[in-house]
Amino acid sequence: MLSERIQIIRSEFDSDISKVSDLKDLENVRIKYLSRNGEISTLFEDLKTATKEEKPLVGKSLNELRNYATTQFNLLKENLETASSSTDEKIDITLPGITKILGSKHLLTQTLDEIKSIFKGLGFSILEGPELESDYNNFEALNFPSDHPARDMQDTFFINKEFLLRTHTSPVQIRVMSSHKPPVRAIMPGRVYRNEAVSSRSYCMFHQVEGLYVDSGVTFAELKGTLVSFAQQFYGEGLNYRFRPSFFPFTEPSAEMDITCYLCHGKGCKVCKQTGWLEILGCGMVDPNVFGFVDYDSEKYTGYAFGMGIERTAMLKYGISDIRVFFENDIRFLKQF
Ligand code: PHE
């Protein structure tokens, strides 16, 4: 009798549990079968009335029924719970998103881009050389003999006797001329290093742009024309400029180019040290001795070269008074440009 009822309850349980669609249904199934007064507990009560012979067998199948029902219940409960937790999770689309802060080009990159585009317009190509240079390219072939006092102008980080961190971009001139026959017309931007005390006006690393044009019949007038055209495009029309005699071992004659002080417009102030002028670059006609080092015929070819610091150029154009701000990566400075 009891074993038949066990069969019936089991199939009823199967049918009920197969209809469960949510946790509420499931709870009802639990109450109906597994609670203290549920069908299965009632069967256990009835077991007490079974005969001695019946008891072991019926007891066993009753235990099996209870284990079966409990396992089914637990399994379904787990499934329903995970399903409900994933659908309960609502996305609040009105919440503000995580703002992505867009970076921008560093002022030095912007300045260099502008310089490059002006010189491209004037027919120059763009070349680069390594920062770790030989003493030969950085000094020797640029007409600085090893005991030449002009080496003192550029405090050098030496790696060993033969190699150093380049102190200017001029060694790229040597590389270009050693590997190309004239005509060459290129600008050569890059980093340079000097073993100087860091201050508002100098840093141990900075950037320069070198320029070189060699062909037959290149004149100082062309040098001036090119640089004046550059200065007008870069600093703006209406500026006065002048070329002052200067000295570099690798150019002869050499000059420095000044423009009217942007602050006082030539009247004299602190920035221009009361002169009314600001130096923007060094330049000159390539010294025939340099041509000798690169196997150019100095009877046939002439050329000019110039070099400017990119930090200095940006400082002059934007009125920045401390070179260190370029390397501090302070977002308050960088985002102004
Ligand atoms: N290399 C020089 C400097 O660093 C600048 C320069 C370049 C001067 C080319 C003349 C010609 O000071």
Give the pLDDT confidence of 34-50 residue by residue, as tens digits. 889 888 888 888 888 88
Q: Token digits for 33?
A: 């079968």
- 302 alpha carbon to ligand 1 midpoint, in Å? 17
Work out the average pLDDT over 208-233: 97
> Pocket of ligand 1, candidates 137, 167, 170, 226: which has the most ligand atoms within 8 Å of its Cβ, to mutate?
170
Q: Indicate if 271 and 217 belong to the same structural domain.
A: yes
Identify the pLDDT of residue 102.
83
Averaged pLDDT score across all residues of the chain: 91
Identify the pLDDT of residue 283.
98
Identify the pLDDT of residue 4.
85
Cα–Cα distances in angstroms (integers) from residue 126 to residues 115, 165, 174, 181, 279, in the given order: 11, 21, 15, 16, 24
The residue type of 111 is T
Q: Residue count of the chain, please give it.
A: 337
Identify the pLDDT of residue 86.
66
Of 86, 118, 136, the residue that ends a domain is 86
pTM over 0.85: no
DSSP state of 21: -
The residue type of 272 is C
Work out the average pLDDT over 120-137: 97
Q: Indicate if 307 and 164 belong to the same structural domain.
A: yes
Of 86, 120, 147, the residue that ends a domain is 86
Q: Indicate if 190 and 59 belong to the same structural domain.
A: no
Identify the pLDDT of residue 6.
86
Identify the pLDDT of residue 53.
84
Q: Indicate if 43 and 81 belong to the same structural domain.
A: yes
Work out the average pLDDT over 1-17: 87
Given a contact cutoff of 8 angstroms between Cβ atoms, the answer to whether 260 and 240 are in contact is yes
Q: Indicate if 72 and 208 belong to the same structural domain.
A: no
Residue in the structure block whose two tokens are 């399903």: 83
Helix axes 39-47, 2-18, angle to 10 degrees: 170
Q: Rounded to an integer, what distance in angstroms lies between the CA atom of residue 255 and that of residue 323? A: 24
Strand partners, 209: 189, 308
The rounded radius of gyration (Å) of the Cα atoms in the chain is: 43
DSSP state of 124: -
Q: What is the CB-side half-sphere exposure of residue 55 using CA atoms within 13 A? A: 7
> Pocket of ligand 1, candidates 248, 251, 289: which has the most ligand atoms within 8 Å of its Cβ, to mutate?
248
- 336 alpha carbon to ligand 1 midpoint, in Å? 30
Of ligand 1's atoms, which has the minimum distance to the CA of residue 309? 4
Q: Indicate if 173 and 301 belong to the same structural domain.
A: yes
Confidence of residue 153 (pLDDT cuts 50, 70, 90): low
- Confirm or reject: Cβ of 305 under 6 Å from ligand 1: yes
- Which domain range does residue 213 map to? 107-334
Given a contact cutoff of 8 angstroms between Cβ atoms, the answer to whether 176 and 186 are in contact is yes
Q: Rounded to an integer, what distance in angstroms lies between the CA atom of residue 258 and that of residue 278? A: 5
Q: Rounded to an integer, what distance in angstroms lies between the CA atom of residue 146 and that of residue 143? A: 9
Q: Indicate if 196 and 114 belong to the same structural domain.
A: yes
- Confirm or reject: Cβ of 310 under 6 Å from ligand 1: no
Of ligand 1's atoms, which has the minimum distance to the CA of residue 212? 9
Cβ within 8 Å of residue 191, ≥6 positions away: 131, 205, 206, 207
Of 34, 54, 86, the residue that ends a domain is 86
The pLDDT tens digits for 276-309 are 999 999 999 999 999 999 999 999 999 999 999 9
User: 286 — phi, psi (to 5°)?
Assistant: -55, 130
Identify the residue whose C-alpha is closest to ligand 1 atom 10.
283
Identify the pLDDT of residue 87.
63
DSSP state of 122: T
| The total number of structural domains that make up the chain | 2
Longest dimension (CA), the chain: 130
Residue 223: strand, helix, or coil: helix
Q: Token digits for 7?
A: 């069969």
